[in-house]
């Protein structure tokens, strides 16, 4: 297996921009709305004083946990709870949530585009499993490229937003199964049913709970989940993508754990970090670790 180390920069957006960052905060534009959110990696000095930043809303966390709850402070009369955004022909709804998220993880566009290119290049039916799929942008990207998609998230609300995004994007005629379930249990059932996938994507949280209060802990549960993922692949898989947020982990650990499961397939393993480019600057804001296997 070949190994490549790359920094993936999400620089293919028109509706999103990182306007400034520093002093543990970031100023971002999501479509028509501008927001200020905490960021624990933005240690540096901002391009402009944080006090001078203009935004429609600011998120204030209740505690130090990066994924912890908090509340939004409205700073402008033009602030709205939800609004449309677009990426590469897809339309979705952005929204402010109680956990600082915006209804989209914009840095993942590097994987959406990769998946679309791999699926279209096959020119054959492709089946994709998207685990921890959130509001469905990866699922929509794969479906738009012609794949049949099984989308799984433990949150029925997130799946509901994903279905809305499917309609907004004009993809109601594409096959996406929206399933609310615990990822580990679903993968086990798919093994017993003998279902197989050409590509699998997983974006697990540091900590989470399933539909029946099952507990997910990244460091403890990821190896077992990757074992299950391997067992669900077809004989000639296209790709596997894994990302990690807010964990004390090197991308090498993530990549080498995935490599163990994919060694028999040969192919190419990419590893590294994901980042967002800052407007008018050479600065990059790191966001996540990733490991991405693809057929050679």
pLDDT tens-digit readout, 23-40:
999 999 999 999 999 999
What is the Cα gyration radius of the chain? 19
Q: Which domain holds residue 194?
A: 2-9+103-294
How many domains are there within the chain? 2
Of 84-93, 171-180, 215-224, which gets the smallest average pLDDT?
215-224
CATH code of the domain containing 76:
2.60.40.1180
Q: Is 68 found in the same domain as 130?
A: no
Does residue 196 belong to any structural domain of this protein? yes
pLDDT at site 237: 98
Q: Kindly tell me if the per-residue pLDDT of 165 is higher than 70.
A: yes
pLDDT at site 230: 97
Q: Is 188 found in the same domain as 66?
A: no
Q: Kindly tell me if the per-residue pLDDT of 95 is higher than 90.
A: yes
Q: Kindly tell me if the per-residue pLDDT of 144 is higher than 90.
A: yes
Q: Is 121 found in the same domain as 63?
A: no
Does residue 91 belong to any structural domain of this protein? no
Distance of alpha carbon 185 from alpha carbon 228, whole angstroms: 10
pTM of the model: 0.95
Q: Is 156 found in the same domain as 280?
A: yes
Q: Nearest CA to 163 among 153, 176, 150, 173? A: 176
Q: What average pLDDT does this structure show over 151-180?
A: 97
Q: Nearest CA to 239 among 261, 268, 216, 214? A: 268
Q: What average pLDDT does this structure show over 59-68?
A: 74
Percent of the chain clearing pLDDT 90 (strictly above): 88
Q: What tokens does 152 get? A: 């799984």
pLDDT at site 65: 64
Q: What tokens does 236 get? A: 């000639």
The helix-helix angle for 137-144 and 156-168 (nearest 10°) equals 40
Q: Is 223 found in the same domain as 112?
A: yes
Q: Is 258 found in the same domain as 208?
A: yes
Strand 239-244 vs strand 284-294: parallel, antiparallel, or unpaired?
Answer: antiparallel
């Amino acid at each position: 297996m070949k190994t490549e180390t790359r920094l993936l920069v999400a620089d293919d957006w028109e509706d999103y921009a990182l306007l400034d960052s520093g002093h543990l905060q970031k100023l971002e534009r999501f479509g028509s709305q501008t927001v200020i959110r905490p960021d624990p990696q933005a240690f540096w000095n901002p391009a402009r004083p944080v006090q001078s930043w203009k935004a429609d809303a600011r998120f204030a966390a209740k505690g130090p946990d990066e994924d912890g709850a908090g509340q939004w402070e409205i700073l402008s009369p033009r602030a709205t709870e939800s609004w449309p955004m677009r990426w590469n022909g897809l339309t979705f709804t952005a929204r402010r949530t109680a956990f600082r998220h915006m209804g989209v993880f914009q840095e993942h566009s590097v994987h959406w585009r990769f998946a679309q290119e791999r699926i279209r290049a096959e020119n054959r039916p492709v089946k994709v499993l998207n685990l921890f799929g959130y509001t469905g942008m990866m699922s929509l990207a794969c479906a738009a490229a012609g794949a049949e998609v099984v989308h799984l998230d433990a949150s029925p609300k997130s799946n509901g937003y994903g279905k809305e995004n499917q309609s907004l994007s004009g993809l109601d005629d594409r096959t996406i199964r929206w399933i609310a379930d615990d990822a580990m249990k679903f993968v086990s059932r798919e093994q017993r049913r003998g279902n197989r996938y050409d590509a699998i994507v997983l974006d697990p949280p540091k900590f989470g709970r399933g539909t029946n209060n099952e507990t997910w802990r990244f460091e403890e549960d990821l190896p077992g989940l990757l074992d299950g993922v391997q067992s669900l692949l077809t004989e000639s898989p296209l790709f596997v993508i894994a990302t990690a947020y807010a964990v004390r982990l090197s991308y090498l650990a993530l990549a080498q754990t995935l490599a163990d499961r994919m060694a028999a397939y040969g192919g190419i393993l990419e590893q590294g970090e994901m980042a967002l480019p800052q407007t008018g600057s050479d600065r990059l804001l790191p966001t996540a670790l990733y490991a991405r296997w693809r057929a050679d």
